Structure 1
Amino acid sequence: MKILSPVLLFVAVFCLAAFTSNAPSSYKIGDTATDFKLKSVDGKMYSMADYKNAKGYIVVFTCNHCPFAVKYEDRINDLAKKYKSKGYILLAINPNDPAVQPEDSFELMKVRAKEKGFAFPYLFDEGQKIYPQYGATKTPHAFLLDKNRVVKYIGAIDDNVDSATDVKEKYLENAIAALEKGETPSPELTKAIGCTIKTKK
């Protein structure tokens, strides 16, 4: 059996350490998400703790510029309106670095929210600290949490990016319906389809 030279061993250990240290943590089904406090386009700070009587939380990572996110704007707005009365709070978070994608600046977030009449807090992940905790990789990327912030569903909002009228599977809404019945969502995980999150290399 060959023994690695000290130099090769050092390189191997260094590479492994670099890989593991840079790998973002991400929530899995059943994990408890930590709360956050982020600024919204109305100038106020929001967190899940603000909603004492919430039955659950719909956290959607989205943004201004991404064509996929734009196609889902109205659907996200409709979800916020529909489920607020049922006790589910939708919080949308822009995870992009505006230095990389200027269209996703906080000032332009305010413009977009006003133009579209967003019925939910549109939050800015300043310093990009929150999206890596969740493991969000796309815009849009949805996470459903129960009232105790336990992650119940992760993935796409539905199965048709291009047409809301042609959706066959409403993944997120079906997950909420399961949560209402005390059942496990099926599926619990789907693949988020969208733009990559913009960050400095």
Structure 2
Amino acid sequence: MYNSAYRYSLGAILAFISLGFGISDAHAQIPLGSTMPGQNVQVTLPDGSTTTLGALKGADGTLVVFWGNRCPWIGKIEDRLKSFAGTFSSATRKIILINSNDGSAFAAESRSGNAEAIAGLPQGIPYVADAEAAIMEAFAATRSPEFFLFDASDALVYTGSMDDSPGDADKVTKSYLADAYAAMSSGNAVRVGVTKPFGCMIKPKR
């Protein structure tokens, strides 16, 4: 019992540290209006086949989400992503999940870990491994989850967090991603285009 409690406490502390609380987050996000980067970089699907962001993107919009399988904040926001997917996903609008963590160092972040994780998400959302972290670097992504919304011309219209309450869906007062999508789909300017991403630090291969 003591060992179990100790492991839980240690895990919570490590997760807290990995979020970078108290540390100035000066990570250089790609500017709004940027064309989706890394479209020709090969990524790997859970079945072992390879593809590219360019092949997976939607004709009328694409949401790229940096994801992971060990981060506790992923679990807290997963249902919200499912709900958003019900509104956003279509034949011409796509959501792409990207795991840039080192799958060779962390078994849960491996291709088999991705296959297990994707089973709980809506069918049709591809979950790809960015084994060399080339996509992560192209996007200047640092966290999972971290959201990048692109319009029909592949221009970035929103980047950052899904909303203002990553830890508790009942306390959300500002739905940044949903608001950005609503503005994009109606042809209006996105009022809040950049927010600070909130989640675990991505641990790429080094």
Task: Give the corresponding residue for 1:121.
Answer: 126
How far has the Cα of 1:177 moved from its partner? Answer: 0.8
Q: Look up the SS of the partner of 1:130 in the other structure.
A: helix
Give the aligned partner of residue 8 of structure 1. Answer: none
Moved over 3 A (4+): 42-53
The separation in 2 between residues aligned to 1:132 and 1:181, in whole angstroms, is 31
Which is worse superposed, 63-72 or 29-38? 29-38
Find 2:111's aligned residue among 106, 112, 121. 106
SS at match of 2:134: coil
Aligned to 2:97, which of 92, 109, 112?
92
Quote the Cα distance in structure 2 between the aligned partners of 1:46 and 1:142: 20
**Residue aligned with 1:152, SS:** strand
Q: Which amino acid aligns with 1:106?
A: R
From 146, 158, 167, the counterpart of 2:151: 146
Q: Aligned to 1:171, which of 170, 173, 176? A: 176
Equivalent-residue separation in structure 1 for 2:168 and 2:188 (angstroms)? 29
Structure 1 runs not aligned, ≥5 long:
1-23
Cα distance, 1:70 vs structure 2: 1.7
Pick from 20, 29, 32 the counterpart of residue 29 of structure 1: 32
Alignment partner for residue 183 of structure 1, among 169, 188, 192? 188
1:198 to 1:49, Cα distance in 2 relative to 1, 3 A: closer
Alpha-carbon contact 1:56-1:146 (below 8 Å) kept: yes
TM-score (norm 1): 0.79
Q: Which residue of 2 aligns with 1:9?
A: none
Equivalent position amino acid for 2:127 in 1: Y
- SS of the equivalent of 1:103 reads helix
When structure 1 is superposed on structure 2, of 26-35 and 55-64 the one drifting more is 26-35
Per-residue CA shift, 1:51-107, capped at 9, x if unaligned?
686211000001100011121122222222321138421101011012333321111
Aligned residue for 2:103, secondary structure, equals coil
Q: What amino acid is aligned across from residue 33 of structure 1 in structure 2? A: M
Report if aligned partners of 1:57, 1:89 keep a CA contact under 8 Å in 2. Answer: yes
1:59 aligns with 2:44: no
Offset of 1:143 from its aligned partner? 0.2
Larger radius of gyration: 1
Alpha-carbon separation, structure 2, partners of 1:89 and 1:144: 10
d(CA) in 1 for partners of 2:29, 2:110:
25
Tell me the CA shift for residue 186 of structure 1: 1.6
- Within the candidate set 127, 141, 155, 1:136 is matched to 141
- TM-score, structure 2 as length reference: 0.77
The CA RMSD over aligned residues, in Å, is 2.2
Instruction: List runs of 5+ in structure 2 lacking aligned partners.
Output: 1-26
Q: Which amino acid in 2 is paired with 1:176?
A: Y
Alpha-carbon separation, structure 1, partners of 2:91 and 2:170: 23
Report the Cα offset of residue 113 of structure 1.
1.6
Work out whether residues 25 and 134 of structure 1, in 8 Å CA contact, stay in contact via their aligned partners in 2.
no
Distance 1:133 1:44, change over 3 A: same
Aligned residues: 177
